[in-house]
Structure 1
Amino acid sequence: MKKATYQDREKVVDILCRAFIDVLIPNSINFVVKNSGNRYTRLKSLMEFQFDKSMLYGNIFLSNDNKGCILYLDREGSGIKNILLEAKLLFTCIGLDNILKILKREKLLKSFHPKEKFIHLWLMAVVPDQQGNGIGTKLLKEFLEIYHKELIYVETTTLENCYFYKQNGFEIFHETFELDYPLYFLKYV
């Protein structure tokens, strides 16, 4: 596992896009990506946003074979850079007509964030043709070794992901169906 740099942006965005382009179930990504227009362009914009925000307010790890990645945040985004990133995302991915539903979603997510300092495991992906080969598990275990003394928090929308995280030491502390999809909140214990 290695820390990503800004030179890895295209590589990480490609992993994320490949991992999520064909996932069409109701989930957090599809909730944010506006339905009209070119799905790939909008998805790529979201993944670029997540890369940029993670580099500013957290970090990104790549698997040694560049087939998987973990993006996390360890501090709150603020300031002009954050505002510019979010404004760009609004116009390139979300759309003005979806802003209220996205703000409602963000408020819901934040209501279950821990009050104390925590690491938000924001996004994890492995390229589709390599899923099931242990890349994600290895990446997550190496991540957890580094941050084993920290409170780590993640949200997911599928029971399959819940099972994966539970196998790796996480527990569900809340679940909700308030949005158009299930949402499970987990913490590393």
Structure 2
Amino acid sequence: MKKATNQDKEKAVDILCQAFIDVLIPNSINFVINKCGNRYKRLKALMEFQFDLSILDGNVFLSDDYKGCILYLDRNKLSLKKLLLEIKLLFICIGLNNINKVLKREKLLKNFHPEEKFIHLWLMAVIPTEQGTGIGTKLLKDSLEFYKGELIYIETTTVENRTFYTQNGFMIFHETFELDYPLYFLKYV
């Protein structure tokens, strides 16, 4: 596992885009991306935002073979750079017509964040041709070791992801179907 820097942005964003470009089921990513216009451009903007924010307020880890990527948020500080990233995301990815929907979703997520200090496992991806080969499991375990002793929190939307995380030591503490897709809230201590 390698801790990413800004120089790894292109590679990390490529992994994330490859992993999610063909995932068209209702989920958190598709909920945020404006359905009008170029899907790849909007997805790339979202992944660039998530990478930049994770570098700013957390960590990004890449698998040694550059086929997997995991993003964490471990602090939440206010900054002008963060505000500018959010404005850019609004105009390129979300769209003004979707802002209320996305803000409602964010409020729902925050309602189920742990009350104690936690690390947010924000996003994980393995390029599609390598999924199921152990890259994601190794990357997850190595990154959890980096945060050993910390409360790790994640929300996910698919049964497959829920199963993956529970098989790797996460426990479900809440699930909801308030949006147009399921949300499973898990934690790891």
TM-score range, shorter chain: over 0.9
User: Paired residue for 1:2?
Assistant: 2
User: Paired residue for 2:160?
Assistant: 160
3-state SS of 1:72 partner: strand
Cα separation, 1, equivalents of 2:77 and 2:56 = 8
C-alpha deviations, 1:144-187, integer Å up to 9, x for none?
Answer: 12212000000000010010000100010000011110000000
User: Paired residue for 1:174?
Assistant: 174
Cα separation, 2, equivalents of 1:147 and 1:47 = 23
Cα separation, 1, equivalents of 2:35 and 2:167 = 34
Q: TM-score, normalised by structure 2?
A: 0.99
Cα separation, 1, equivalents of 2:144 and 2:12 = 20
Cα separation, 1, equivalents of 2:55 and 2:79 = 15
User: Paired residue for 1:25?
Assistant: 25
User: Paired residue for 2:55?
Assistant: 55
What one-letter code is carried by the residue in structure 1 that aligns with 2:104? K
The runs of 5 or more residues in structure 2 that have no matched partner are none
C-alpha deviations, 1:111-156, integer Å up to 9, x for none?
Answer: 1111111100000000000001000000001111221200000000
C-alpha deviations, 1:43-88, integer Å up to 9, x for none?
Answer: 0000000000000000100000000010000011422111111000
* Structural RMSD (CA): 0.7
The correspondence of residues 21-100 of structure 1 with structure 2, limited to 5 A, is 21-100=21-100
What one-letter code is carried by the residue in structure 1 that aligns with 2:186? L
The runs of 5 or more residues in structure 1 that have no matched partner are none
Cα separation, 2, equivalents of 1:75 and 1:64 = 25
Which 4+ stretches in 1 moved above 6 angstroms?
none
Q: TM-score, normalised by structure 1?
A: 0.99
Cα separation, 1, equivalents of 2:183 and 2:76 = 21
Tell me the percent identity: 76
User: Paired residue for 2:187?
Assistant: 187
User: Paired residue for 1:15?
Assistant: 15
3-state SS of 1:139 partner: helix
3-state SS of 1:18 partner: helix
Cα separation, 2, equivalents of 1:145 and 1:53 = 22
User: Paired residue for 1:133?
Assistant: 133
C-alpha deviations, 1:75-114, integer Å up to 9, x for none?
Answer: 1142211111100000000000000000000000011111
What one-letter code is carried by the residue in structure 2 that aligns with 1:14? D
Aligned residues: 189
3-state SS of 1:132 partner: coil
Cα separation, 1, equivalents of 2:144 and 2:98 = 35
Cα separation, 1, equivalents of 2:18 and 2:48 = 13
